[in-house]
Amino acid sequence: MSAGHLSFDELAELAEGLLAPRQARDAEAHLDSCEECGARASALAATTNALRGLGPVAMPPEVGTRLDRVLARASEAPTGETVVPDLSQVRQRRRMPPPWTLAAAAAVIVVASVSTILATRGGGHHATSETAGSIEAPLVATTPRQPMVTTESGRVYTPSTLPSLAPSLLGGASLGQSPTGAAGTVTGSGGAAPAPLQPHQDAGVAPPAAKAAGRPTAQNPTAQSPYAQAFGPAAAVPAPLRRYADSQKALLACAAFITDTPGAAPVAVDYARWSNPTTHTRRAPALILVFQDVHATDELDVYVVAPSCDDRSLLNYQVVSSPAAATASPTR
Amino acid sequence: MSDADLLAQHLGGDPDAFSALVSRHRDRLWAVALRTLGNPDDAADALQNAMLSAYRGASGFRGSSAVTTWLHRIVVNACLDFARRRAVRPTQPLLEDQAATASDEIGSHETALAVTAALRLLPADQAAAVVLVDIEGFSVDEAAAILEVPSGTVKSRCARARARLAQELYELDPRRASDRNGHQGSHVQTKADNEEHL
């Protein structure tokens, strides 16, 4: 500010209503009588108007190309495994577990030592709540047979979305999926996990009256998959998967073959599609089979299986965190 | 198909949905990054970081705002992060002559160019405030939410930014400075000199 004139800062604050009432009155009085300050005020107004008139700027082609490339890489980029897994290795891994009893015992030991650590840190309150949560996990895992949650989403899974979407098949049990298979209800599946599909509903993309995707199941004709609730009607079950959706026997035979474990039953199945840019796979019909991991109580084994379900059908395999693990995680 | 639909498809595993969403808004987001950072190289880097984190963090979108607002938040914050790490504002002229699509109903094309060039002189947090409020048309409250600062802070940053820009334009005005011809080249040079006094 010079020669008693209003500075541009003062003029801009006046325009934005930031000056104290008395300052504002003084400034306005000065403006009325000062040609120089009037000219400055005009320049300020012209500047603000010019800013408001600025439109978008065309992104330079090379920047756009680079951005496209980075995003394309991100869609391949692995949070899990992106290569086609070797079925025999996956089976091998499954055959080398500690027996359930040992796993449960180990979990108890971990729980015990964690509570000791927390207690000696003086975190008595925390120790109580965290161990209380973690004890539940082995109980879930040792339940002889969990009910199988069936979803017919028809949606497309990728290597990067599989780790979050597959557990949500279980986490969404309370959202109205249909328990099928073994006797019992899904209430035994341990702790209402935060369902990853929930944010989609928050995002306001769900048509209010979304209808169930796929066919109604025999057990619960009005069951809606979480996918249907979140996104509205989904693509139909891909035709090559129809025979598994129609026959639980066929499905369990496939599950037993893929895991090389007679009687192995998945805890969740989705009739869906698979895309993997690395292998140039696009929207291929695929069974998503989710098993309780045999090594860790808080993990799930997720198999992506092509419809033929033979020894070349394993499209992807990932070990992911179980939604029930949310309460047990402090022990890990 | 709405932006929210595309985002949902991305979360549902469609490998092309996110790119489609980005390409819808790329020019607008590019303008935000360019004008906040004042330099095409930095803007490209910041925008790339922003889009990657949006890609990975899409499940964090809660739908309480428009998808574009969410994208702006990520881009602006990536730019401000970038600016904080960057020691000095760059001095290369902003190559916007092919791009300044000013609507001529209010200011002249030349004013738009001069304002665009002068934006480079602002600290990034001030530039972000006027970019959001004046250029992108967000309300002060929306801009405050995007920038995660109080509304009063947005107002004062906008005021300071407009004051600085107005001063630059005022001093450049050929009617006021007979010894200058208002030529764009000398104009930029003057700005670069002034920058040391920021």
pLDDT in tens, B78-121: 999 888 887 655 554 444 443 444 343 334 677 888 888 899 99
Residue B136: DSSP 8-state: S
Q: Which two tokens stand for residue A231?
A: 């996104």
- Rounded to the nearest angstrom, the minimum Cα separation between A253 and chain B is 28
Tens digit of each residue's pLDDT (9 = 90 or more) over A58-68: 999 999 999 99
Where is mean pLDDT largest: A273-277, A304-308, B15-19? A304-308
Chain A contact present for B55, CB below 8 A: yes
The rounded mean pLDDT for chain B is 80
Residue A33, pLDDT score: 92
Helix/strand/coil (H/E/C) assignment for every residue in chain A? CCCCCCCHHHHHHHHHCCCCHHHHHHHHHHHHHCHHHHHHHHHHHHHHHHHHHCCCCCCCHHHHHHHHHHHHHHHHCCCCCCCCCCHHHHHHHHHCCCCHHHHHHHHHHHHHHHHHHHHHCCCHHHHHHHHHHHHHHHHHHHCCCCCEEEECCCCEECCCCHHHHHHHHHHHHHHCCEEECCCCCHHHHCCCCCCCCHHHHHCCCCCCCCCCCCCCCCCCCCCCCHHHHHHCCCCCCCHHHHHHHHCHHHHHHHHHHHHCCCCCCCCEEEEEEEEEHHHCEEEEEEEEEEEECCCCCCEEEEEEECCCCCCCCEEEEEEEECCCHHHHHHHC
Residue A286, pLDDT score: 94
Whether A151 has a pLDDT exceeding 80, the answer reads: yes
Percent of chain B residues topping a pLDDT of 70: 76
Interchain contact, A57 vs B62, CB within 8 Å = no
Q: Which two tokens stand for residue B66?
A: 């428009």
Q: Which residues contact A213 (CB under 8 A, 6 or more apart)?
A: A152, A153, A154, A224, A225, A227, A228, A233, A234, A235
pLDDT confidence bin for B64, thresholds 50/70/90: confident
Query: Which of A64, A75, A155 has the CB atom closest to B12's CB atom?
Result: A155
Query: Which of A10, A71, A197, A227 to probe by mutation at the B interface, max B CB count within 10 Å?
Result: A71
Provide the sign of the torsion angle of the four alpha carbons B54, B57, B62, B64, taken in this order: negative
- Higher-confidence position of A293 and A20: A20
Residues of B in contact with A196 (CB under 8 A): 59
ipTM of the prediction = 0.79
- Rounded to the nearest angstrom, the minimum Cα separation between B130 and chain A is 8
Residue A40, pLDDT score: 93
Q: Give how far the C-alpha of residue B158 lies from the chain's centroid of Cα atoms, to the nearest Å.
A: 13
Instruction: Find the closest chain A residue to B175 by CA distance.
Output: A39
b or e along A164-202 (b: 16 or more beta carbons within 10 Å of the residue's beta carbon)? bbbbbbbbbbebebbbbbeeeebeebbbebebbbbbbbe
Interchain contact, A44 vs B100, CB within 8 Å = no
Q: Are B109 and B100 in contact (CB under 8 A)?
A: yes
Chain A contact present for B57, CB below 8 A: no
Residues of B in contact with A205 (CB under 8 A): 2, 4-5, 7-8, 63
Residue B179, pLDDT score: 40
Report d(CA B108, CA B116) in Å as an integer.
Answer: 12
Burial of A274 (0-12, 13-18, 19+ CB in 10 A): buried
Tens digit of each residue's pLDDT (9 = 90 or more) over A197-256: 333 333 333 333 333 344 434 344 344 455 545 444 456 788 899 999 999 999 999 999
Cβ count near A277 (within 10 Å)? 17
Least confident of A37-41, B46-50, B169-173: B169-173
Query: Which of B14, B43, B134 has the CB atom closest to A51's CB atom?
Result: B134
Least confident of A189-198, A250-259, B101-110, B133-142: A189-198
Report d(CA B180, CA A249) in Å as an integer.
Answer: 87
Residue A185, pLDDT score: 32
Q: In 3D, which of A131, A126, A127 has the Cα closest to residue A111?
A: A131
* pTM of the predicted protein model: 0.49
Query: Which of B34, B61, B115 has the CB atom closest to A47's CB atom?
Result: B115
Query: Which of B18, B30, B45, B119 to probe by mutation at the A interface, max A CB count within 10 Å?
Result: B30
Where is mean pLDDT largest: A186-190, B58-62, B94-98, B166-170? B166-170
Query: Which of A43, A49, A155 has the CB atom closest to B106's CB atom?
Result: A49
Interface of B with A in 67-86 (CB under 8 A): none
Q: Which two tokens stand for residue A176?
A: 């109205």
Residue A65, pLDDT score: 92
Query: Which of B11, B96, B170 to probe by mutation at the A interface, max A CB count within 10 Å?
Result: B11
Interface of B with A in 107-146 (CB under 8 A): 107, 111-112, 114-116, 130, 134-135, 137
Whether A17 has a pLDDT exceeding 90, the answer reads: yes
Query: Which of B32, B170, B172 to probe by mutation at the A interface, max A CB count within 10 Å?
Result: B170
Residues of A in contact with B31 (CB under 8 A): 54-57
Interchain contact, B15 vs A63, CB within 8 Å = no
- Higher-confidence position of A250 and A103: A250
Average pLDDT over residues B18-39: 93
Whether A275 has a pLDDT exceeding 60, the answer reads: yes
Report d(CA A273, CA A282) in Å as an integer.
Answer: 8
Query: Which of A44, A156, A203 has the CB atom closest to B62's CB atom?
Result: A203
Query: Which of B25, B45, B97, B106 to probe by mutation at the A interface, max A CB count within 10 Å?
Result: B106
Residue B87: DSSP 8-state: S
Interchain contact, A18 vs B8, CB within 8 Å = no
Interchain contact, A46 vs B111, CB within 8 Å = yes
